[in-house]
Amino acid sequence: MRHIASSVVAGIVFSVVVGAPALAQKKYDPGASDTTIRIGNIMPYSGPASAYSVIGKTQAAYFKKINDEGGINGRKIEFITYDDGYSPPKAVEQARKLVESDEVLLIFSPMGTPSNAAIQKYMNARKVPQLFPASYSAKWSDPKAYPWTMLLGTSYKTEGGIYAAYILREKPDAKIAILYQNDDFGKELLNGLKAGLGSKASMIVAEAPYEVADPTIDSQIVKLRHSGADVMFSFGTPKFVAQSIKKIGELGWKPMHFIPNVASSVGTVLVPAGVENAQGVLSGTFIKDASDPQWDNDRGMKAYTSFLAKYMPDANKADSLMVHGYLGAQLMVQVLKQSGDNLTRENVMKQAASIKDFESDVLIPGIVINTGKNDFAPLEDMQMMRFKGSKWEPFGEVIRGRSDG
Instruction: Sketch out the chain's domains with CATH numbers.
Output: 32-154+297-374 (3.40.50.2300), 156-285+384-400 (3.40.50.2300)
Burial 243-260 (b: 16+ CB within 10 A, else e): bbbbbbbeeebebbbbbb
Q: Quick check: 1 pLDDT over 60?
A: no
User: What span, in angstroms and rounded, lies between the C-alpha atoms of 281 and 260?
Assistant: 11
Q: Please provide the size of the chain in residues.
A: 405
Question: How would you classify the pairing of strands 106-108 and 130-131?
Answer: parallel
Report whether 88 contacts 3 (CB < 8 A). Answer: no
Q: Work out the pLDDT band at 155, boundaries 50, 70, 90.
A: very high
- For residue 289, the model assigns a pLDDT of 87
- Cα separation, 306 vs 317, in Å, equals 11
Banded pLDDT at 24 (limits 50, 70, 90): low
404 pLDDT higher than 90: no
User: Is residue 19's pLDDT more than 80?
Assistant: no
d(CA 319, CA 291): 8
Nearest to 286 by CA among 217, 214, 189, 382: 382
pLDDT for 13 equals 56
Beta strand ranges found along 2-105 (DSSP E): 12-17, 27-28, 36-43, 76-83
Sign of the C-alpha dihedral computed for residues 69, 70, 72 and 76 taken in this order: positive
In degrees to the nearest 10, what's the CA dihedral of 167, 171, 176, 178?
-40
Compute the distance between CA of residue 261 and CA of residue 183 in angstroms, rounded to an integer: 17
In 3-state terms, the chain is what percent helix, strand and coil (to 5)? 40, 20, 40
C-beta of residue 167 within 8 angstroms of C-beta of residue 197? yes
Sign of CA dihedral 219, 225, 226, 229: positive
Which of 38-42, 70-74, 252-256, 268-272 is the least confident region? Answer: 70-74
Specify the pairing of strand 282-285 against strand 381-388: antiparallel
Q: What is the pLDDT of residues 315-345, one digit of tens each?
A: 998 888 999 999 999 999 999 999 999 999 9
pLDDT at residue 17, as a whole number: 47
What is the rounded CA–CA span in Å between residue 41 and residue 113?
A: 14
Judge contact between 18 and 66, C-beta under 8 A. Answer: yes
Nearest to 261 by CA among 375, 168, 127, 387: 387
Alpha-carbon distance 287 to 383, whole Å? 9
- The phi and psi torsions of 136 (rounded to 5 degrees) equal -110, 45
CA distance 212 to 51: 13
Average pLDDT, the chain: 91
Q: Tell me if 43 sits within 8 A of 115, measured CB to CB.
A: no
Cα(108)–Cα(63) distance, integer angstroms = 12
Name every residue whose Cβ is closer than 8 Å to that of residue 343 and which is 6 or more positions away in sequence.
20, 26, 27, 28, 29, 32, 37, 105, 336
**How far, in Å, CA of 217 to CA of 212, rounded?**
10
Report which residue type is found at 248: I
CA dist., res. 142 & res. 116, Å (int): 14
CA 141 to chain centroid, in Å, comes to 14
Q: Which of 6-15, 113-122, 151-160, 346-355 has the lowest mean pLDDT?
A: 6-15
**Measured distance CA(328)–CA(402) in Å, rounded:** 21
pLDDT in tens, 270-295: 999 999 999 999 999 999 988 888 89
Q: For residue 128, is pLDDT > 50?
A: yes
- Does residue 5 carry a pLDDT above 50? no
